[in-house]
Amino acid sequence: MRSSLGAGLAAGTFMSLGPYEKVLAGKPLPQGANYDLVAVMGGEPAAMFDIGIQALGGIGSFVSKGQKVLVKPNIGWDVLPEKGANTNPALVKRVIEHCFKAGAKEVYVFDNTCDNWIKCYENSGIQRAVKDAGGKMVPGNSESYYQEITIPNGKKLTKAKVHELVLESDVFINIPVLKHHSSTRMTAALKNMMGVVWDRGYWHANNLHQCIADYALYPKKPQLNIIDAYNVMMRNGPRGVSKEDISNMKSLIISTDWVAADAAAAKMMSLDPQKIDYIPISAGMGIGKMDLSAMNIHRIKM
Amino acid sequence: MRSVVLRHIRIVFSFIVLLLLSFLFIDFRGMVPDKAFGPLLYLQFIPSMLKFVIAGVATATGFVIILILTVLSGRTYCSFLCPLGILQDVISRIGGFVKRRFRKYAYKKPYTILRYFILALTAGILLIGGVYVLTILDPYSIFGRLMTYFVKPAAIFLNNQVAGILGKFDIYTLYKIDIKPFELAVYAVPAAFLMLIGFLAFRYGRLYCNTVCPVGTFLGFLSKISLFRIRFDEDKCNRCGRCAMSCKSSCIDFLNKHVDISRCVNCFNCLEACHEKAMSYGLVRFRSSGEPAGPDASRRNFIAGSLLMLAGGSQIIRAQNTTTPVPTKDSTIKEDRLYPVSPPGSSGLSAYTSRCTACSLCISACPTSVIQPSVSEFGIAGIMQPRMDFHRGFCNYECTLCTEICPTGAIMPLMLEAKKLTRIGKAVFIKDNCIVATEKTACGACSEHCPTKACAMIPYEGNLLIPEVIDDICIGCGACEYACPTKPYKAIFVDGNPLHEVAKKPETKKMETAPADFPF
C-alpha cells in the first residue's frame, strides 16, 4: 500500500516534469536500434538520463511491473555532492522515478561505504534523493546483511559475501560515478561492485584487477549500467581533496555491457582503456567488449 | 520540610538524570545533538573540576555550583545528579524486591579511616600530577564505563534482534550494528567495579558511596557545615526506628536521635518513613548545648582551607609535566610505533593522559569506532584511557564530535578547519610489507582512503603504482592504516605525535576544461 502510494507520487511528480514528456511525445523512438552503448552530453543529470534511456527503449525494457529493483550508486565517501566522489543524487533520483514509472514494486538502494555509512548516506544527498523518489535506503554496514556466494570460474576471487539485496532483487541497476582512482587509475561500472561485497580488503590483497574481473562473472550482475560523468574527479580520487579536482563534463554513459561502458568512460578521462588493467582482463574473460570502434554507439548532444 | 514531596521530587528528578546520562552513552545511532553533551554533563563534579582546574577552561564552573549546593543543602549531588549514585538506588530497589530484608537497613558505624584514606590518596596523587586513581574512582567515569562496556553492547544486541525481524518485513528503520568487543584486558576494572558496586548496592544501599567513593567522602566532609539537613524533632520521635530502617546510607542513629550528616545523601526516604513526623529537612538549628552542633568556626576554617589548597593545587599540577607516558616498544610489533595516538584536540600525550579519567564517552560516541580503550599504550597507569586504534577504524575527516563532548577537557574543542590540519601522528610506509612490492599487483587501498592525498601513488614497476607518503600534509587520521589489507602487520601505519602539530594544507590546482565532444 505504502509502496504503491510512493510509486504513484513518484509517477505524478515525474509526469509533471518537462523534458521527459517531450521525449515521450515528440522524438521518434529508435525501436530496434539495439545500441551497444548510449552516450549523452551537455545536459543536467536527470534530463540526460531521460533521453539516454529512451534510446535503449526506456527503462521498461529492463524493469517489469511488480519487480523489486536494486539500484547501486557509489556512496563511498562522506563528502558533499559537488565534489563528485559519489554518484549524483539527481541522477539516482531520476533512475528510481523511471523504475516506479515502469511499475517496479520496490526500489532499494545501498552501498558498503568506505567512510562512516550514515554520514555517507546523508551527506552524499543520496538518502534524501532516494526517499524523495519513493525508494528504500537499506543499510549495508553489518556483516549480517551479507551472504556467501561462489564464483566457480574466478581466477583469484572464487567466493565473496554479497549483500542480500543482490540475491533478493529481480533487477539490478548499477549507477557508478566516473572518477580517478589512485590505484586502478579509474573507477566506474565494474569497480563499483566492490560496494556490494563485505570484504573489499581481500580484493586489494589478491590482485585487485583480477578480482574486479572475477566478480563480474557472478551471474547476478547488473542488467543496466549508468555511468554518471556529470562532475568527473580527474585527480586525487577516489575520495578527492577539493572541488578543483572536478571537471564538469556533463555526460552520461548507459550500456548493458559494463566492460564497454568502462572503456568509454576511460576515454572520457583521456585514459587508454588498455591501461586500466581490469578492463582488458574482463574483456579477455568474455565479460564484455572493449573495442569501442566495433560498437553501435548512439551519441546524443543536448 | 516534612513533606513526602521531597522524596518524590528526588525520585522523578534523578530518574530523568539517569535516563539522559545513560542515553548519552548508549546512543548507538548518534541521535543526541552534539551541543547537548556539554549542558548535560556540566554539573558532573570531577569532569567539571578537571576541566576547570587542569585544562583551565573558565566556563567549566559546574563543580563550583556543586560545592555551593553542598554547603547549602548537603549531599544533594549524590542523590540527584550522580549517575552512579542513582544507578545504585535502582539496584538497591531491585535488591529490595528480590529479598524483603535487603530493603531494611540499620544504623552502621562509618568506615572513617578507610574513606578518608581513599580521599587523601586520590587527592594526593592528583596533586602530584597523576589522574589515574581518579580514573579508577570517579563515579561519573565508572558509570560511563559501565554504560560503554556493558550496557551499550547489550542495547545493540537487542536492537539487532529487532532489526533482524523488521528486516524480514522489508523495514529498515532499525539497522543492525556489528558488536566488536574491546581488548579483553580493559574489561578487568569495569567488571570488578560492576561486581563490587552491584553487590554493595544490592545488599547494603549506599555503602559504596560512603566508603569508597572519594567524591562522596569529599562532599560528605563539606556537608558537615551544610545549612540544610535532616533533623530530628526530639519531642515527636518515639524511637520506632523506621527512619533508620529506610536509610540507604545507614547513617541514622535513631536511638541517639542523631543523623551522620557526612553520609546522608538527601534521599529523603526517612521523611516518608517516619509516621510521627519527627523527621524533617530544614535549616540547621543553633543550639546552646547538645547534639547536633551547629557549624562551628574552626571546622569551617579547616574546610575552607582545604578548598583553598585544592585551588592552589591547580598551579602545582599545571607546573608539572611529569607524566609523559612510556612509549610502547614491543619488539614483536613489526609496525614500529614509537608513540600511541591521542585524539585530535588533546594537543599531545602528556596533557591528554593527565586530564582523561577514561569515562569512555568519546569511545561510545565516535561514529567510526576509531577511539578504543588502551591497554598499556599510555603506560599501565593509563589503562582504559582512549586511544586512536587504526586497526578498528579511522578518524573521519569531516568529524569533530569527540572534541565537542569531552567533559574533562582532555580533548578540547577544535573547529573543523583546524581539525583537518591537526596532525595527531604521521603515516609511515613499510615497502617490504606492501602488496604492490611483494605481490606485484595493484592495491592502493591506503591512498584511496587518504583525505589529503598525503598518501600518494607514484609509478612503480610496469603499469603499477606504489604508495609514497608526503609528510607535511599527512594528519595521521589513520585511514591508510585501517584500509591496508596486509596481515598480520600493516604496510602503512600511523606513529603518534607526542605533541600534536599543524599540517600543511594540500595544494589545489585549477582544473582543465571538460572535453567538448565524445572522445570515442
Model confidence over B239-295: pLDDT tens digits? 999 999 999 999 999 999 999 999 999 999 999 999 988 999 999 875 544 444 444
pLDDT for residue B331: 27
Residues of chain B above pLDDT 70, percent? 90
Which residues between 454 and 493 in chain B have a beta carbon less than 8 angstroms from any beta carbon of chain A?
456-457, 463, 465, 483, 485-487
**Residue A41 cell numbers, joined:** 552530453
CA distance linking residue B171 with residue B2, whole number of Å: 53
> Minimum mean pLDDT among A51-65, A143-157, B301-315, B470-484: which range?
B301-315
With H, G, I as helix, E, B as strand and everything else as coil, classify residue B476.
Answer: coil
Which H or E run includes A212? helix A208-215
Tell me whether residues A241 and B465 touch, CB distance under 8 A.
no
Tell me whether residues B518 and A114 touch, CB distance under 8 A.
no
Nearest to B519 among A119, A241, A268 (CB): A268
Using the predicted structure, report yes or no on whether residue A133 has a pLDDT greater than 90. Answer: yes
Where in A164-206 does DSSP place strands (E)? 171-175, 177-181, 185-187
* Among B443, B469, B444, B434, residue whose Cα is nearest residue B454: B469
pLDDT band at B378 (very low <50, low <70, confident <90, very high): very high
* Among A223, A227, A193, residue whose Cα is nearest residue A211: A193
Using the predicted structure, report yes or no on whether residue B29 has a pLDDT greater than 90. Answer: yes
Using the predicted structure, report yes or no on whether residue B318 has a pLDDT greater than 60. Answer: no
Which of A31-45, A270-284, B222-236 is modeled with the greatest confidence? A270-284
Give A232→chain B minimum CA distance, Å.
9
CB atoms within 10 A of CB A216: 24
Contact call for residues A229 and A178 (beta carbons, < 8 A): yes
pLDDT for residue B335: 84
With H, G, I as helix, E, B as strand and everything else as coil, classify residue A83.
Answer: helix
B308: buried, middle or exposed (CB in 10 Å: 19+, 13-18, 0-12)? Answer: exposed
Task: State pLDDT tens for residues A81-95.
Answer: 999 999 999 999 999
Angstrom CA distances, A147 to A118, A152, A288, stand at: 22, 16, 26
pLDDT for residue A29: 46
Using the predicted structure, report yes or no on whether residue B320 has a pLDDT greater than 50. Answer: no
pLDDT for residue B75: 97
This prediction has a pTM of: 0.88
* Among A169, A58, A49, A167, residue whose Cα is nearest residue A106: A169
Task: State pLDDT tens for residues B118-132.
Answer: 999 999 999 887 899
Tell me whether residues B511 and A246 touch, CB distance under 8 A.
yes
CA distance linking residue B313 with residue A12, whole number of Å: 71
Residues of chain B above pLDDT 90, percent? 78
CA distance linking residue B371 with residue B337, whole number of Å: 17
In chain A, what are the domains?
2-301 (3.40.50.11440)
CA distance linking residue B140 with residue B161, whole number of Å: 30
Distance of alpha carbon B143 from the chain centroid: 7
Nearest-by-CA chain B residue for A209: B442
CB atoms within 10 A of CB B25: 25
pLDDT for residue B1: 56
Using the predicted structure, report yes or no on whether residue B96 has a pLDDT greater than 50. Answer: yes
> Minimum mean pLDDT among A30-39, A254-263, B252-261: which range?
A30-39
Nearest-by-CA chain A residue for B509: A244
Does B160 contact A at CB distance below 8 Å? Answer: yes
pLDDT for residue B488: 86
pLDDT for residue B287: 55
Tell me whether residues B177 and A248 touch, CB distance under 8 A.
no
Contact call for residues B471 and B426 (beta carbons, < 8 A): yes
* Among A251, A252, A249, A275, residue whose Cα is nearest residue A263: A275
Q: Mention every residue, 6+ apart, whose C-beta is less than 8 A from residue B230.
A: B74, B252, B259, B261, B264, B266, B270, B271, B279, B280, B281
Does B343 contact A at CB distance below 8 Å? Answer: no
State whether the Cα torsion B445-B448-B454-B460 is positive or negative: positive
pLDDT band at B508 (very low <50, low <70, confident <90, very high): confident
Contact call for residues A203 and B483 (beta carbons, < 8 A): no
Q: Mention every residue, 6+ apart, whose C-beta is less than 8 A from residue B382.
A: B132, B325, B353, B374, B376
pLDDT band at B322 (very low <50, low <70, confident <90, very high): very low
CB atoms within 10 A of CB B270: 27
Taking chain B, what is the end-to-end CA distance rounded to the nearest angstrom?
A: 89
- Average pLDDT over every residue of A131-149: 96
pLDDT for residue B297: 54
Query: Which residue has cell 513533606?
Result: B3
Give B98→chain A minimum CA distance, Å.
38
pLDDT band at A30 (very low <50, low <70, confident <90, very high): very low
- Average pLDDT over every residue of B295-319: 49
Tell me whether residues A183 and B457 touch, CB distance under 8 A.
yes
**Which residues from chain A sit within 8 angstroms of residue B435, using beta carbons?**
204-205
- Average pLDDT over every residue of A212-227: 97
pLDDT for residue B299: 55
Contact call for residues A131 and A121 (beta carbons, < 8 A): no
- Average pLDDT over every residue of B22-37: 95
State whether the Cα torsion B272-B275-B279-B280 is positive or negative: positive
The per-residue DSSP string of B110-125 comes to --HHHHHHHHHHHHHH
Tell me whether residues A183 and B367 touch, CB distance under 8 A.
no
Find the DSSP H helices in B345-488: 349-353, 361-365, 401-405, 416-419, 435-438, 445-449, 479-483
**Residue B495 cell numbers, joined:** 606513529
Query: What backbone torsions phi and psi does residue A48 show, to the nearest 5 degrees?
Result: -65, -35
Peptide bond before residue B47 is cis, with ω within 30 degrees of 0:
no
* Among A266, A237, A261, residue whose Cα is nearest residue B456: A237
Using the predicted structure, report yes or no on whether residue B226 has a pLDDT greater than 80. Answer: yes
Q: Which residue has the higher pLDDT, B336 or B326?
A: B336
**Mean pLDDT of chain A, nearest integer:** 91
CA distance linking residue A202 with residue A189, whole number of Å: 19
Interface test with B, best of A74, A182, A279 (most B CBs within 10 A): A182
Taking chain A, what is the end-to-end CA distance rounded to the nearest angstrom?
A: 38
pLDDT band at A10 (very low <50, low <70, confident <90, very high): very low
pLDDT band at B296 (very low <50, low <70, confident <90, very high): low
Contact call for residues B382 and B130 (beta carbons, < 8 A): no
Tell me whether residues B443 and A292 touch, CB distance under 8 A.
no
Q: Which residue has the higher pLDDT, B322 or B78?
A: B78
CA distance linking residue A262 with residue B416, whole number of Å: 36
**Mean pLDDT of chain B, nearest integer:** 89
Using the predicted structure, report yes or no on whether residue A163 has a pLDDT greater than 80. Answer: yes
Please name the amino acid found at residue B253.
Answer: D
In chain B, what are the domains?
5-283 (no CATH), 349-502 (3.30.70.20)
- Counting Cα atoms < 13 Å in the Cβ hemisphere of B324 gives 8
**CA Rg, chain B, in Å?**
27
ipTM for the predicted complex comes to: 0.88
Q: Which residue has the higher pLDDT, A32 or B441?
A: B441
Task: State pLDDT tens for residues A16-26.
Answer: 444 444 444 33
Using the predicted structure, report yes or no on whether residue B310 has a pLDDT greater than 60. Answer: no
Nearest to A239 among B443, B449, B508 (CB): B449
Q: Could you tell me the maximum CA-CA distance found in chain B, to the nearest angstrom?
A: 104
pLDDT for residue B513: 81
pLDDT band at B514 (very low <50, low <70, confident <90, very high): confident
Give A219→chain B minimum CA distance, Å.
24
Using the predicted structure, report yes or no on whether residue A257 has a pLDDT greater than 60. Answer: yes
Does B168 contact A at CB distance below 8 Å? Answer: no
pLDDT band at B314 (very low <50, low <70, confident <90, very high): very low
The 3-class SS string of A116-143 reads CHHHHHHHCCHHHHHHHHCCEECCCCCH
Give B451→chain A minimum CA distance, Å.
6
Please name the amino acid found at residue B346.
Answer: S
**Residue A87 cell numbers, joined:** 554518484
